[in-house]
Copies of this chain bind each other. A is one copy, B any other.
Amino acid sequence: MNLIVAQSGGPTSVINSSLAGVIDSGIDNDFDKIFVSMNGIEGIINDNIRLVDSEIFAKDNMAKALKARPASILGSCRYKLDSDFDSPVYEKIFRNLAKNEISLFVYIGGNDSMDTVTKLNKYISYKNIEGINVIGCPKTIDNDLEGMDHSPGFGSSAKYINASLRALRCDVDIYDLESVTFVEIMGRHAGWLAASSLLANYNYKKDLVNLIYVPENKTSIDQILNDIRNELKNEKNLLVAIAEGFRDVDGVLSEEVFTNTKDGFNHPVVSGVGQRLADLVRERLDIKSRAVELNIAQRSNIIISGTDSKEAYNLGYRAVDLGMENTNLVPVLRRKDREKYEVYYTQVRPDEIANKEMKIPQEWLKDMKTLEENMYKYALPLIEGEVEQVFEKGMPVFVDICDFTKEI
């Protein structure tokens, strides 16, 4: 009875915490062998799998090392499984799983990966395959997964964003002249990460983030410029958080503008909405303005939330437990109480997560104060605690896949 685990979709800073939970649970549940699949489901398809050395894993405290190692250590993929069960890929997958005597396959991923999990389970039912179970374990920095209080990965991104903004504010404030700095934050459809930047205002003497625009906002460019003019009456240097997916109601920031714009090499300009708004502020308000993109550091960083890491580990651990019970339910976190942070673990059907998106509730978006208060209650506990990083010669050192697995 063997176990296999894989990681899929975009990375997070705690996706390896979930991996650690899966492996520890696999050891505790007495699996004979624990395999890892490289590059998501592609590793199973192409027989690119490795064997975990359980003894070394426990002895060398690899779980702790994995918690400090950002981004999918097993690699990832964006593979979309065919909907047609006659596709030869299904036979290949289940032949390779059978060859390695796998009874449980844990897939750590976002809503696309839950779609894969759902399809594999449907195929199992359809073909009456026995003795194998496929279970999902959630992750995403975007916090847009349905069926749970929050997604593992979100807290660490939010923590990185807040730490960056606190340092950025130190920089923004140094000159005694008016300026507007747009900080572009990940989130194409949901503004959770951008909204998490409001946590930086907590216990700060003035507003650290002065204005915020998320995809859920319906706002015009004129309104934004008006907001900026008003804020500049109170404060010289503004920090404006902007989700990469924010678009104004009039379509000035529409997709066409982005994709029809050519740079000097006759290519579409790919830089984002923050830069566009900075250009507009300079042009229309004649105020020094710039944009800062927090970019992929948001999903792969050494600043990791202790709470997030612990929860991601627990979900990985629980995924194996649930898999042993032969359910296909996905482990999730829920909150007991909105006032005091306390979570409990439960489970949902993968199709309750797949291909859906959780947005910021409309009632939170009434005004910035309302959003800020709701985000304090909701997200402040999620960024608490720090995962310790080991430095050697001044640089962080991370565990390597070869440190606890070997080729088979």
A: residues with CB less than 8 A from B are 11, 38-39, 42, 69-73, 75-78, 159, 162-164, 166-168, 170-171, 173-176, 199-200, 202-203, 205, 257-258, 260-261, 263-265, 267, 269-271, 275-276, 279-280, 282-283, 292-293, 295-297, 299-302, 305, 307, 380, 382-386, 391-398, 400
Query: Is there an interface contact between B261 and A263, defined as CB atoms closer than 8 Å?
Result: yes
Query: Is there an interface contact between A39 and B175, defined as CB atoms closer than 8 Å?
Result: yes
Distance between Cα atoms of A72 and B172 in the complex (Å): 10
Query: Is there an interface contact between A170 and B11, defined as CB atoms closer than 8 Å?
Result: yes
Output the nearest chain B residue to A205 by Cβ-Cβ distance.
B400
Task: Give me 14 A-to-B residue pairs in the complex whose CB atoms sit less than 8 angstroms apart, sorted by A's number.
Answer: A42-B176, A71-B167, A71-B170, A71-B171, A163-B395, A171-B299, A203-B397, A265-B280, A267-B282, A269-B269, A292-B295, A292-B296, A293-B295, A384-B393
Output the nearest chain B residue to A385 by Cβ-Cβ distance.
B394
Contacts A265-B276, A267-B283; is A391 near B395 (CB within 8 Å)?
no
* Cβ contacts under 8 Å, A282 to chain B: 267
Contacts A167-B297, A173-B75, A176-B42; is A162 near B275 (CB within 8 Å)?
no
Query: Is there an interface contact between B300 and A77, defined as CB atoms closer than 8 Å?
Result: no
Query: Is there an interface contact between A296 and B171, defined as CB atoms closer than 8 Å?
Result: yes
A386 contacts which of B69, B75, B384, B391 (Cβ < 8 Å)? B391
Output the nearest chain B residue to A257 by Cβ-Cβ distance.
B264
Query: Is there an interface contact between B171 and A11, defined as CB atoms closer than 8 Å?
Result: yes
Query: Is there an interface contact between A394 and B280, defined as CB atoms closer than 8 Å?
Result: no
Query: Is there an interface contact between B394 and A167, defined as CB atoms closer than 8 Å?
Result: no
A396 contacts which of B163, B263, B292, B384 (Cβ < 8 Å)? B163
A279 contacts which of B263, B384, B385, B398 (Cβ < 8 Å)? B263
Distance between Cα atoms of A70 and B174 in the complex (Å): 11
Query: Is there an interface contact between A300 and B265, defined as CB atoms closer than 8 Å?
Result: no
* Cβ contacts under 8 Å, A385 to chain B: 394
Query: Is there an interface contact between B76 and A174, defined as CB atoms closer than 8 Å?
Result: yes
Number of copies: 2
Query: Is there an interface contact between A384 and B394, defined as CB atoms closer than 8 Å?
Result: yes
Q: How far in angstroms is the closest Cβ of chain B from A260?
A: 7
Output the nearest chain B residue to A299 by Cβ-Cβ distance.
B171
Q: How far in angstroms is the closest Cβ of chain B from A92?
A: 17
Distance between Cα atoms of A374 and B305 in the complex (Å): 37
Output the nearest chain B residue to A39 by Cβ-Cβ distance.
B176
Q: How far in angstroms is the closest Cβ of chain B from A68?
A: 11
* Cβ contacts under 8 Å, A171 to chain B: 11, 70-71, 296, 299-300
* Cβ contacts under 8 Å, A400 to chain B: 205
Query: Is there an interface contact between B296 and A77, defined as CB atoms closer than 8 Å?
Result: no
Q: How far in angstroms is the closest Cβ of chain B from A282?
A: 8
A264 contacts which of B261, B300, B384 (Cβ < 8 Å)? B261
* Cβ contacts under 8 Å, A265 to chain B: 276, 279-280, 283
Output the nearest chain B residue to A386 by Cβ-Cβ distance.
B391
* Cβ contacts under 8 Å, A205 to chain B: 400
Output the nearest chain B residue to A300 by Cβ-Cβ distance.
B171
A275 contacts which of B78, B175, B271, B305 (Cβ < 8 Å)? B271
Distance between Cα atoms of A232 and B271 in the complex (Å): 26
Output the nearest chain B residue to A155 by Cβ-Cβ distance.
B394
Contacts A275-B270, A393-B380; is A293 near B296 (CB within 8 Å)?
no
Query: Is there an interface contact between B263 and A168, defined as CB atoms closer than 8 Å?
Result: no
Q: How far in angstroms is the closest Cβ of chain B from A173?
A: 7
Distance between Cα atoms of A173 and B265 in the complex (Å): 28
